[in-house]
Chain A
Amino acid sequence: MYDFAYHKPTSVADAVKLLAEDPDARPISGGMTLLPALKHRLNMPSALIDLSGIAELRGIRREGDALVIGAMVKHFEIATDPQIMAAIPALSRMAATIGDTQVRNRGTIGGSLANNDPAADYPAAALALGATLITDRRQIPADAFFVGMFTTAMEPGELLVGVSFPIPEKAGYAKLRNPASRYSMTGVFVARGPKGVGVGVNGAAACAFRQKEMEAALAANWSPEAVAGIRQPADDLNSDIHGSAEYRANLVTVMAKRAVADAG
């Protein structure tokens, strides 16, 4: 790992100021992705801005018909928080499958959303639930937030502070884990709620996406059978040693059926 400067601000304003002063600085939350990347020298930030001292980034609160989760809330908390388990149990179940216990004890929802790894779990949930990503300067709908592989709509120096999930009537999640790395080969999150039906897909393409044909089918008939005959085109899907694009396309249908069954 190359060395870097280290700062631990105690407010979002101070963190954003540090990021603005130094374009090569990077924020660090749990570090479960960033630190391995630094060890591989894939990244050479001039400074790390540690967000763990900022109280306003933590906390889980109900705001009307939505649940607002702070960016620094850890996967373990999402998996076990009574408020989240009651409002969006599928999100808790999803969080319980991220990485391993030690990763869940450190990794955060904000870090995962901002990193936008193609195989990350949360982006599919954010898309399906119609979430709003809250930054230090604006609110971005999930549909506009996830732009591409490891890329979001956030500008350099912009900081994710939380995410607001409209509380659904029903939601479910299913994924096929790579047997060795346990990352999502393809996962599908389905939700039915105030914003209609959402179907978010992760792991299959360069970036999480919505499967709108399935959304329309589920809006008409909420059942696994409704999506069983829908084929995801393989054109833009990932192809690698773990599975071809055609294999992942088939997984989208299979995981969508299981996710609907999971939602009940």
Chain B
Amino acid sequence: MPQVTLTVNGQSHTVEVEARTLLVEVLREKLRLTGTHVGCDTSQCGACVVHIGEDSVKSCTILAVQADGAEVTTIEGLAAADGALHPMQEAFREYHALQCGFCTPGMVMSAIDLVRKHPQGLSEQEIREGLEGNICRCTGYHNIVKAIAAAADVMQGRTSELARAAAE
């Protein structure tokens, strides 16, 4: 059986897989990192989004063997060691950017990639279009968009309502 070595959230893991094993199966079933969800399993819904390097990818549509040697970040790897949330997580909480929560990990991971790829900032339209690969079936998009705009301000060093609220 093929062996793959992945660095997940900074920690190296070597696991035995089948060639057909998906990256998300390794994360959930072998490493027990169940924050990454499987929604549609057809690369449409985005619940399974993780980062490989800096890029957001759908972990249901990558074989574990294709990710051999990769640096993977999952939702569990975002918060600081002391438990302080990533600004995107903090903004999702502050703006109540979730209803049932199933899509949330994928939304957060996609949103971070989106902000990073727009260092000059993002319009509301760009945020909405940038979430094309993520589906919220509660249709709670409004607060998700607000949260991402606020987190972008924090991540890119602009003053925002969120930063002001945190400072008070």
Contacts and interface: CB of A to CB of B under 8 A. Distances in A.
Contacts of B56: 101-102, 105
Interface stretch (A29-37, A109-117, A161-169, A217-225): A29-37
Interface stretch (B8-16, B59-67, B75-83, B145-153): B59-67
B107 interface: no
Contacts, number: 70
B41 interface: yes
A81 to B, nearest CB: 14
Contacts of B63: 6, 31, 35, 48
B124 interface: no
Contacts of B132: 100-101, 182
A4 B61 contact: no
Nearest to A34: B61
A259 B92 CA distance: 39
Contacts of B110: 101-102
A105 B55 contact: yes
Interface in A87-101: 99-101
Interface residues of B, number: 26
A231 interface: no
Given A6-B65, A50-B65, A103 B43 contact: yes
For the side of the interface on A, what is the size category?
A: 20 to 34
Interface of A: 1-6, 8, 28, 31-32, 35-36, 38-39, 48, 50, 52, 76, 99-103, 105-106, 182
29 contacts: A3-B18, A6-B2, A6-B65, A8-B68, A31-B61, A31-B63, A32-B43, A32-B61, A35-B61, A35-B62, A35-B63, A36-B42, A36-B43, A48-B63, A50-B66, A52-B66, A76-B55, A99-B133, A101-B56, A101-B110, A101-B113, A101-B114, A102-B46, A102-B58, A102-B110, A103-B43, A105-B113, A106-B57, A106-B58
Given A31-B66, A106-B57, A182-B132, 8 more contacts: A3-B18, A4-B20, A32-B61, A50-B66, A99-B133, A102-B49, A103-B133, A106-B61
